[in-house]
Amino acid sequence: MAKIVLIDDHALLRNGLAGLIKSLGHQVLYEADNGKHFIEQLKASGQVPDMVLLDINMPVMDGYDTALWIRSNMQSIKVLALSMNDNENSILRMLRNGAVGYILKDADPKELALAIQSINQKGYYHSELISGKIMHAINQIDVGTDGTLKSPILLTDKEISFLKLVCTELTYKEIADNLSVSPRTVDGYRDVLFEKLNLKTRVGLAMYAIKAGVVQV
């Protein structure tokens, strides 16, 4: 059984989720309508959840800032992002800020049950948004006990610089401007890395960069 907190500014959705989570045998400690409200309740109650189901678009303190606060202050709490946003930038930003899973609000209840179970047992959940092929490639990375990359995949300095910027919210055109190269050159970096790492999306590149230690989170 997992102890869960719901953070979403839509009360009806929270109530529905609470009922579903309880029916799955888990405990809902409390609910909050934004990150600030969550922090206040956490400090007042002293009850630390195993995980939070976290919306992104909320007033006062949104999901991005809330996930970042949790990562900085309460690392034992696992963050499952629950959002209507299926764009790469939203996924990337939540992963960088510490989320261990990301599912859509209109997902089947069975997927939510699976996500909670996976996070409770393994510490993460990778949905179809973060495909199995991406994770297979990333999980092949050999990282030593000191956190350094031991993978035989060799990256050039330019490719590493590109990977670091991939993890930001910059567009590919803005990345090109940052690197003082043409957009076509950036497309070339991307395509070469897709080939080298057996990946197909920007999310995959970002997750590789995070696990390989190219960027620090």
| Residue 11 neighbours by CB under 8 Å, 6+ apart | 33
Residue appearing with tokens 């670091």: 164
3-130 in CATH: which number?
3.40.50.2300
Beta strand ranges found along 3-60 (DSSP E): 3-7, 27-32, 51-54
Calculate the CA dihedral of residues 73, 75, 80, 86 and round it to 10 degrees.
70
What pTM, to 2 d.p., does this model score?
0.67
Residues of the chain with pLDDT under 50: 132-133, 143-150, 152
Name which CATH class applies to 134-212.
Answer: mainly alpha
Token pair for residue 97? 């800020």
pLDDT tens across 104-126, in order?
888 888 989 999 998 988 888 87
Please report the pLDDT score of residue 76 as a whole number.
92
Residue span(s) of the chain under CATH 3.40.50.2300 come to 3-130
What is the Cα–Cα distance from 165 to 75, expressed in whole angstroms? 25
pLDDT in the model for residue 137: 52
Element (H, E) at 193: helix 183-197
The segment(s) of the chain belonging to CATH 1.10.10.10 are: 134-212
